[in-house]
Homo-oligomer: A and B are copies of this chain.
């Protein structure tokens, strides 16, 4: 018993630590999605999350460190989402995109990531930390998808249109969706999904 205690307890700290880290990240994402980058402060995250500034600083020594961690976790989630879709056999891009609009783009994690991306455009140090994660995600996901998505068309065109769709949804949310009623938004997304499928089924060039 004493023996097993000594072997079991050494993980207690690591578990607690990981739990706190995760809680901080969740709160950070919530605040970023709701308030935006420039209104999301370390103090607000701590206060609203119920943990101290000291604890936050211990796990993420600076705001930059925290933001990088958010992006990395958000990209992991996005990667898992797309792969899960494809591995289930949904090879038509249209339905993937239409579902992504609700479940991905409009999720707190994506919105938080977007805030950080925009901040990174004008923050050299932040961009240098974030860019590799984006690049890796983009490369790996596309490589894995290229032979899974619509294999009869070679996958190349599908991969291209997936990237286009990703950009399109992101830009749409930032620009147009800001001033558009819900019904129009989903109609627009649906039309794009239909356009995609029609374009991928018909021919194999591209």
Q: Which residues of A contact B (CB under 8 A)?
A: 34-39, 111, 114-115, 117-123, 127, 130-132, 134-135, 138, 160, 163-164, 166-176, 178-180, 188, 191-192, 195, 198-199, 205-206
Q: Which residue of B lies closest to A35 (CB)?
A: B122
A172 to B195, CA, bound (A): 20
Most chain-B Cβ atoms within 10 A of its Cβ — which of A35, A135, A164, A205? A164
Task: Give the residue name and chain of the B residue nearest to A114 (CB).
Answer: B174
Query: Which single member of B122, B132, B160, B192 contacts A179 (CB below 8 Å)?
Result: B132
On whether the beta carbons of A167 and B178 are closer than 8 Å, the reply is: no
**Contacts A38-B38, A122-B39, A123-B36: A117 and B164 contacting too (C-beta < 8 A)?**
no
* Chain copies in complex: 2
Could you give 30 example pairs across A and B, Cβ below 8 Å?
Answer: A36-B118, A36-B119, A36-B121, A38-B38, A38-B119, A111-B121, A115-B122, A117-B175, A117-B178, A118-B174, A121-B174, A130-B179, A132-B179, A134-B178, A135-B179, A138-B176, A138-B179, A163-B188, A164-B192, A166-B171, A167-B167, A167-B169, A167-B170, A167-B171, A167-B172, A167-B175, A168-B168, A170-B170, A171-B174, A198-B205
A14 smallest CB distance to B (angstroms): 32
Q: Within the complex, what minimum Cβ distance (angstroms) separates A126 from chain B?
A: 10
